[in-house]
Amino acid sequence: MLLATVARRFYVQGRSKLEIADEFGVSRFKVARMLDTAMESGLVRVEFSLPAPVDLVLSDEVRSAYGLKRALVLERSTEREPKEVVRAKIGSLAARLLEEIAVPSDVIGLSWARSVNAMTEAVRSLPRCPIVQLCGVQAGMDMRGRSVETVSRVTSVSGGDAYPIFGPLVLPDRRTTETLRRQPGIAETFGQFRHLTKAVVSIGAWQPGESTVYDALDEAERAAIAARGATAEVAARLFDASGNALSTGLAHHVLAISHEELMAVPEVIALGYSRPKAAAVDAVLRSGMVSTLITDAAAAVPLLTLAAKNPVVSGK
């Protein structure tokens, strides 16, 4: 009964150990030992009521393995769910995090991806800050799924200025790309890249169905880029398996933020999930670009294996 009374004073009433010690005529060290005993005996139990099904142990293991600021890993139970359901949960996690950490002084960048699009559907409140599109519109997407609409939806929540890119993601040649980049509206958006404080991006794997950029190219160009060692893609920028920026002809005919500008963003939240993307996620995490990873257990488990085989020096 004494343990229960002391524990109630501390955990429920918010009394300090010193106050409790004075009340019961013991030292504060004795109070500390009593609280430990109450916890060890099961008299006091700690429970977490999380807003999403997050595996806290896996999250902490991934964060530590890659030196990240944060990692959020969906519970293993989601491995049995359809990809669309997992994507919605990844997007919801990203939305909750962005709502929690965004401040009025932020300039937030968004790349196009299905998972980022799911995040924008789930965002309910943001400070009044500018929203910047990081890459052009992917051809073949319906209007609601395009990156311009994604930026528009988030801006309607934040009330800040919108900086869209009204142009295709992949262009036929370098000359067309340079001409479009000089267009007033697009040039204004590109000018915002150096002011970005936060960015939400998606990690794509250089394989069919795992990268919108991969799917937008013809077979010859896909193969040529793969032969150069492409493993991962973020906002149309490529990385090899070691996380190094990969220079290919693709860089000259996409409307997108550069590698250097991405690396300079102080806080990058990357969404990358599913087992087929594990190697790509590993590559991008090794680049040092990412501060927060949001993923699922299907990717997190092989990530830990990859990190154990080849330890990561540091994260962002």
Mapping DSSP onto H, E and C, the string for 100-139 reads HHCCCCCCEEECCCHHHHHHHHHCCCCCCCCEEECECECC
* Residue 280: predicted pLDDT: 97
* Structure confidence by residue, pLDDT tens digits, 249-262: 888 888 999 999 99
List the beta bridge partners of residue 163.
Answer: 132
Question: Computed over its alpha carbons, how large is the radius of gyration of the chain?
Answer: 23
* Cα(161)–Cα(94) distance, integer angstroms: 21
* Residue 262: predicted pLDDT: 95
* Cα(104)–Cα(182) distance, integer angstroms: 29
| C-alpha triplet 147, 276, 122: angle, nearest 5° | 35
* Residue 194: predicted pLDDT: 97
* Residue 145: predicted pLDDT: 46
Q: Which two tokens stand for residue 308?
A: 């154990």
* Structure confidence by residue, pLDDT tens digits, 184-202: 999 999 999 999 999 999 9
End-to-end CA distance of the chain: 49
> Whole-model pTM?
0.82
* Residue 80: predicted pLDDT: 77
* Residue 60: predicted pLDDT: 96
* Residue 142: predicted pLDDT: 43
Contacts of 275 (CB under 8 A, 6+ apart): 298, 299, 302
* Residue 50: predicted pLDDT: 57
Q: Name residues of the chain where pLDDT drops below 70.
A: 47-52, 138-148, 314-316
* Residue 116: predicted pLDDT: 92
Question: Domains, the chain, ranges and CATH?
Answer: 1-41 (1.10.10), 54-309 (3.40.50.1360)
